[in-house]
Amino acid sequence: MTTRLSAQDVTLSYGERVVSTRLSLDVPDGAFTAVVGPNGCGKSTLLRAFVRLLKPGEGTVSLDSRSVSDFPAKALARELAFLPQDPLAPEGITVRQLVARGRYPHQSLLALWTTADEQAVAEAMVTAEVEDFADRPVAELSGGQRQRVWVAMVLAQDTPYLLLDEPTSFLDITHQYRLLALLSRLRDEGRTVIAVLHDINQACRYADHLVAMKDGRIAAEGTAADVVDAALIKDVFDLPSVIVADPVSGTPMVVPE
């Protein structure tokens, strides 16, 4: 397992409120890493530290052994793409225009478009299956469509890393699975995917590397088959459960008692 992106002994806090102390995580290259844990356990905070939205009080987040804070803003944005929980769509923006915003880190001062830019936008729209409504205003779309548009935007950023903060929340179950299938397809194409997921069973099914967090620390990490057992679920989620094999994928499935 190789690792380009890692956090070493980071202390993360919002003002006075400390979320994590001395947290370390190596993100395996080319894998689908899922971060799970109860609300407020510091999953999103960890993701935000990776993309430099939060500066660690101590420790470093590094890419290729270089601290992410030493990267020029656009250079880091060409490596790590991030989909937050609360992106804003400017009023009146169309799908194509929004996806095109993903090209920002590849463009110069005057925002001149290259053929590569145009291609990346077109490909991202095809991959995320949004080209059918490319010229509609984002505000008119359904929740599932809108989320795919945002995914298309981070895809257009054309980065080796995709970080997504709860990308499946607010989606109906069909769209949740479609999105997860899309993320594993991207992993198959060689991208590294790191997603905060709410549903432990979805995480077990899709993740190559599962990170379970509790109270700002990592309770367990590894493949789902290796780490998920009743004791871990009791420890992390405080939920008594039985672990059975998922009848479709064979991965662990948590059934609450």
Partner 1 sequence: MQRPDTPRQHTQSQHTQPPDTQPQDTRQTPEAPLLRRTSTVRVPVRGRAWFVERRTIGLVVGCVVAMLGLGFVGLSYGTSWATPGEVFGALTGLEPSVVIAEWRAPRVVAGILFGAALGVAGAIFQNLTRNPMGSPDIIGLDAGAYTGTLLVMTVFAGTSVTVAFGAVAGGLVTAALVYSLSRSNGLSGMRLVVIGIAVNAMVTALNNWLVLRAELEVAMAAVGWNSGSLNGIDWEDLIVPLAVIAVLLVVIGLRASALQQSALGDSIAVSTGVPLERQRLLMVLVGVGCTATVTAVAGPVMFVALAAPQIGRRLARAPGIPLLPAALTGAVLLQLADIIAQMLLAPVSLPVGVVTTAIGGGYLIWLLAQEVRRR
Give the total of residues touching partner 1 (CB under 8 A).
41
Instruction: Show the CA angle centred on residue 196, arms to residues 47 and 252, nearest 5°.
Output: 140
Contact stretch for partner 1 (CB under 8 A) within 109-117, 170-178, 204-212, 226-234: 109-117
Site membership for partner 1, residue 56 (CB under 8 A): no
**CB 194 → partner 1: shortest distance, Å?**
13
Among 16, 17, 65, 109, binds partner 1 (CB under 8 A): 109
Length of the chain: 257
111 or 244: CB nearest partner 1: 111
Q: How far is CA 243 from its chain centroid?
A: 26
Q: How far is CA 105 from its chain centroid?
A: 19
Query: Interface residues for partner 1 in 86-105 (CB under 8 A)?
Result: 86-94, 97-98, 101-102, 104-105
31 or 76: CB nearest partner 1: 76
- Angle of helix 143-156 versus helix 173-188 axis, rounded to 10: 20
**CB 23 → partner 1: shortest distance, Å?**
20
155 or 253: CB nearest partner 1: 155
Taking a C-beta distance cutoff of 8 angstroms, is the pair 256, 241 a contact?
Answer: yes
Site membership for partner 1, residue 114 (CB under 8 A): yes
Among 4, 48, 187, 209, binds partner 1 (CB under 8 A): 48
Taking a C-beta distance cutoff of 8 angstroms, is the pair 253, 246 a contact?
Answer: yes
Backbone angles phi, psi at 14, to 5 degrees: -105, 105
What element of type H or E holds 63?
A: strand 58-63
Site membership for partner 1, residue 67 (CB under 8 A): no
Strands 161-165 and 192-196: parallel
Site membership for partner 1, residue 248 (CB under 8 A): no
Instruction: Show the CA angle centred on residue 7, arms to residues 253 and 43, nearest 5°.
Output: 40
User: What is residue 24's DSSP assignment?
Assistant: E
Q: One symbol per residue from 127 to 166: x for binding partner 1 (CB under 8 A), - otherwise; what is it?
A: -------xx-----------------x---x---------
Instruction: Show the CA angle centred on residue 168, arms to residues 165 and 170, nearest 5°.
Output: 110
**CB 241 → partner 1: shortest distance, Å?**
33
Query: Based on C-alpha coordinates, what's the Rg of the chain?
Result: 18
| Residue 196: closest CA among 174, 220, 180, 175 | 180
119 or 249: CB nearest partner 1: 119
Residues engaged in binding partner 1 (CB under 8 A):
48, 51-53, 73-78, 80-82, 84, 86-94, 97-98, 101-102, 104-105, 107, 109-114, 118, 134-135, 153, 157
